[in-house]
Amino acid sequence: MGRGQGHHQGDSLNAELTGIWTSRFSNSALDYTGYKVPDKYWLPKTVIEYLCDHGYDIFTCIGYSTNHGLGTFAVNDGMRNRWLKDEPERLKQFYMPTDMSMREWLKHIQNSGKFYAHIFLRETHRPWTQVVKLYSLMGQKSRAWGWFKKKLGLWTGWPNDAYYARRAALEKPNEFAVLRRNSLAKADKIVAEIFEATKNIEDLTYIVYSNHGEVFDHFRYNQSYTSSTVHGLKMIEGTSHGNYPYEVVYGNMQMWILPNQAPKVMKGIGRSIDFAPTILELSQIKPYGMDGESMLSYFLEGAFPDRDRYAETPVSGGCLSMVRKDGYKFIAIGGHETKEDNLYAQRGFANHRLAVFDLKSDPYEYVNLIETQQGQAILEWAISRHKELKIET
């Protein structure tokens, strides 16, 4: 339960890369005043590096590319500037052997006998490949495209794409849903192409998953949202996977296709932190010091047990989501050290900084229990558990 590999490199996707909770490899802190954003970051050994060390050919196309839409900006942003700032040589694992098109990527796979390959499909993201239709939906005329491109350098980029996607989700949800479905159909075709091109390879596991869920419109009826201005555009907070880490943001789809296993729909909640140990067990590699656990036994059983899960975003403002195996969820957004620097209060976040929900009785998170006796008990658990992770590290 967390975001998937390939996007922000700021949250629990790092747990997916490493099998270790993100709380362990930054100097973030949680206490009764709120969540403290870290200023020091590091990254434990990743699943890619484990496989590389054991003789696997690595074909990653995760680094951002404007040419074919298979990558993400995050490697050059979060990874380069934070998580691997002091170890720049490790960045090469996201570009191995080089930046490539999907045709080149597939050719590498077909010529290898032992490999790990990874791409990030941008078709479903905000939606990246239908920006002209998105802008048109929001009343932007075609004559404006040249101005956007000249003024902003890349008119399809942030923050314009997110701005119009957020507006469309709130103002024209049905029409926006059509664009989203069209993007999903494009991604389906790409996945089908990969399956077809690799169907003759023996002992091959496929993993297809979303890199995060969405909150385009879901919570605006029961949570008060604020706006902020980014590059002159008024952005609606809390939509389009904004700053509020509600459960729907972190719930993502997983599909595993394993050799000699019949299809089945799993019950319960899988966790992204279990990706790395599962891949390594399939590869007959024994990792060390991982918080995650292999999912193979659960796949055979057809269900996941209730387990704790965390999602931490220690950059860009910072937020923390912790769910206990009994279904109680604690979220903390931001924090401040001085009244003069209390940006969260200035932007209307003060009432959202700490919250507790009972996901079993209140799955859509309508009732914040933070002021109740149970809520305070969950807060104490969250502070204690977060501190334990730091001490164990």
One-character DSSP codes across 249-300: HH---EEEE-TT----PPBS---GGGHHHHHHHHTT---SS-SS--SHHHHH
Q: Which of 61-65, 97-101, 111-115, 261-265 has the lowest mean pLDDT?
A: 61-65
pLDDT tens, 177-198?
A: 888 888 888 889 999 999 999 9
For residue 38, how many other CB atoms are within 10 A of its CB? 17
Position 156 scores a pLDDT of 54
pLDDT at position 3 is 37
pLDDT of res. 7: 38
What Cα–Cα distance (Å) separates residue 92 from each residue in 15, 34, 62? 19, 36, 10
The average pLDDT across 30-54 equals 89
Q: What CATH code is assigned to 13-36+43-305? A: 3.40.720
When pLDDT is averaged across residues 338-364 and rounded to a whole number, the result is 63
Tens digit of each residue's pLDDT (9 = 90 or more) over 132-182: 788 888 887 544 455 555 454 445 566 777 778 878 877 888 898 888 888
Element (H, E) at 101: none
Residue range 309-316: mean pLDDT, rounded: 75
What token pair was written down for 10?
């700021």
pLDDT the model gives residue 142: 43
Comparing 13 with 22, the larger pLDDT belongs to 22
**What does the alpha-carbon distance between residue 392 and residue 369 come to, in Å, rounded to a whole number?**
29
Which pTM does this prediction carry?
0.85
DSSP string, 325-345: TTSEEEEEE---SSGGG-HHH
Per-residue pLDDT at 38 exceeds 70: yes
Q: Is 352:238 a contact under the CB 8 Å cutoff? A: no
Q: What is the pLDDT of residue 95?
A: 87
Q: pLDDT tens digit string along 196-236? A: 999 999 999 999 887 666 655 455 555 555 566 777 877 76
Q: Which of 42-46, 132-136, 251-255, 278-282 has the lowest mean pLDDT?
A: 251-255
**Residue 340 pLDDT > 60:** no
pLDDT in tens, 103-124: 999 999 999 989 999 888 877 6
Residue at 338: amino acid letter: T
Residue 325 tokens, joined: 């195996």
Q: Model confidence over 50-89: pLDDT tens digits?
A: 999 999 999 988 776 655 667 776 677 778 888 899 999 9
Task: Provide, rounded to the nearest whole percent, the portion of the chain with pLDDT above 90.
Answer: 34
What confidence score (pLDDT) does residue 223 get? 54
Letter for the amino acid at 50? Y
Least confident of 24-33, 185-194, 307-316: 307-316
151 three-class SS: helix
Label residues 366-389 b or e (16+ Cβ within 10 Å = b). Answer: eebbbeeeebeebbebbbebbeeb
Q: Which tops the pLDDT comparison, 273 or 193?
A: 193
pLDDT at 212: 65
| Predicted local confidence at residue 9, as pLDDT | 44
Q: Which amino acid is at 173?
A: P
- Most distant CA pair in the chain, distance: 63
